[in-house]
Amino acid sequence: MNGSSTTKILTAGAVAGLAGIVATLFVSGRERFWVNWIVWFLFVLTTGLGCFFIVALEHVVGARWSVPLRRVPEKLSSLVLLMAPAALLALFSLPAIYSWTRPESLDNPMIAGKAGWLNIPFFSLRAFLCVVLWLLSYRILVTGSYRQDRERDHRFNMRARRFAPLFMAIFAFTITIVAFDWISSLEPEWYSDIFGVYLFAGTFLAGLAATTLALLHLMDRKRLPGLGPDHVYNLGGFLFAFTVFWSYIGFAQYMLMWYANLPEEVFWYKERLEGLWGPLLLALAVFHFFIPFFVLIPRDAKSDPKRLRIVAGVVLFAHWLDLYWMIFPVLGKGPLFGWPELSFLVLFVSCGFLWIRRALGRGADMPVGDPFLQEGLGFRL
């Protein structure tokens, strides 16, 4: 496919999408607009954060086999930069869909007691801090890696190795804040302390899936010489393992709340099981667990580009479905997918792809300045 024609299509899509979402704001109402915004900005943000996590993980454990492919998640993690303004824009959604912003919510003692945490200034400060911390970490880990291409200075490895554990702490707390603030506080009476871990699991999986798709795309175009099926196998193994991990966390949260049956916890699930939401949750289980798990069981499936592409695509879709299923019910209606949702999809997917194309096109495809590149290329199982 001709590169510039793809760009033209995507740009057209972005424009059309933008027009669509503006129309949504005026025709379908603030709530629907903002709910879609939250679902989509979180989807793209968490995908970027997942890739960012992969980069930091590689630095923390000092893995050599992954050095040649590290540039792929580094480029994809720039999605966090794209979503930084989207996150700050999302702050305007607070009065529209977050019930604790309304003065009458303070009549409820359970909300009033948390007003020290759930108030617009503190919430915005937290969101702002998360964005700042992510941008700073990006500068250190990703921009530094690009700089290493030119300067061939191995001190970057040391700096990255020293910073990565701190980033892990930052990541742990920021992803928890994202989960608690943006998703859980849509229903401020509800609480679940595994929620940060749950969002982390989905985030990591989304990052792995996006990395896999981008990696296979680049390998098809022979832009990653030296990378072989053994590298791909490891990625496939991670996809498999963390599919199981996400399912375990999701099931644990559901089963514990089902078992204790406390009204103050179960209402969240009850809303998300009535009407068509129940079958949607079943679909989520199929796409997020059954399909990736059973397709990736055979050993050769984990290094087979065809099956990996399918699974990675399904996992990304399932991650979006997960966010949709968690967030949309706050509108009080059944699962909707009309032209508003379609416009948001077109807008965010087009912008996302445009951004990713730009990122993949700039800079080297492998961290050429990394002293362990050769060793990584020589990795065999």
In the complex, minimum distance from the CB of residue 44 to another protein, in angstroms, rounded to a whole number: 25
Which positions ≥6 away from 306 have C-beta within 8 Å?
A: none
Distance CA 371, CA 265 (A): 51
- On the CB side of 41, CA atoms within 13 Å amount to 22
Name the site residues for another protein (rule: CB under 8 A). Answer: 62-65, 109-110, 113-114, 117, 152, 154, 157-158, 161, 165, 168-169, 172-173, 176, 180, 191-197, 237, 241, 244-245, 248-249, 251-262, 264, 297-299, 368, 370-376, 378-381
Gyration radius of the chain's alpha carbons: 21
Helix spans in 155-290 (H): 155-178, 195-220, 229-260, 263-271, 277-285
For residue 142, give the nearest of 63, 51, 66, 42 by alpha carbon.
51
Distance CA 51, CA 84 (A): 15
In the complex, minimum distance from the CB of residue 309 to another protein, in angstroms, rounded to a whole number: 23
Residue closer to another protein (CB basis): 1 or 260: 260
Whether 314 and 291 have beta carbons less than 8 Å apart is answered as yes
* Sign of the C-alpha dihedral computed for residues 265, 285, 339 and 7 taken in this order: positive
Residue closer to another protein (CB basis): 125 or 381: 381
| Alpha-carbon distances, residue 222 vs 215, 226, 266, 341 (angstroms) | 10, 9, 51, 36
In the complex, minimum distance from the CB of residue 148 to another protein, in angstroms, rounded to a whole number: 11
Helix spans in 91-181 (H): 94-97, 109-113, 120-138, 144-151, 155-178
- On the CB side of 211, CA atoms within 13 Å amount to 31
In the complex, minimum distance from the CB of residue 197 to another protein, in angstroms, rounded to a whole number: 6
Distance CA 148, CA 135 (A): 19
Residue 332 three-state SS: coil
Element (H, E) at 285: helix 277-285
In the complex, minimum distance from the CB of residue 274 to another protein, in angstroms, rounded to a whole number: 16
In the complex, minimum distance from the CB of residue 8 to another protein, in angstroms, rounded to a whole number: 35
Compute, in degrees rounded to 10, the torsion defined by CA atoms 55, 73, 355, 289: -110
In the complex, minimum distance from the CB of residue 374 to another protein, in angstroms, rounded to a whole number: 6
Residue closer to another protein (CB basis): 22 or 110: 110
Residue closer to another protein (CB basis): 89 or 381: 381
Residue closer to another protein (CB basis): 222 or 380: 380
In the complex, minimum distance from the CB of residue 231 to another protein, in angstroms, rounded to a whole number: 11
Residue closer to another protein (CB basis): 1 or 262: 262
In the complex, minimum distance from the CB of residue 270 to another protein, in angstroms, rounded to a whole number: 14
Residue closer to another protein (CB basis): 336 or 368: 368
Residue closer to another protein (CB basis): 32 or 288: 288
Residue closer to another protein (CB basis): 303 or 350: 303
Residue closer to another protein (CB basis): 155 or 221: 155
Distance CA 268, CA 270 (A): 6
CA 84 and chain centroid, separation? 13
In the complex, minimum distance from the CB of residue 242 to another protein, in angstroms, rounded to a whole number: 12
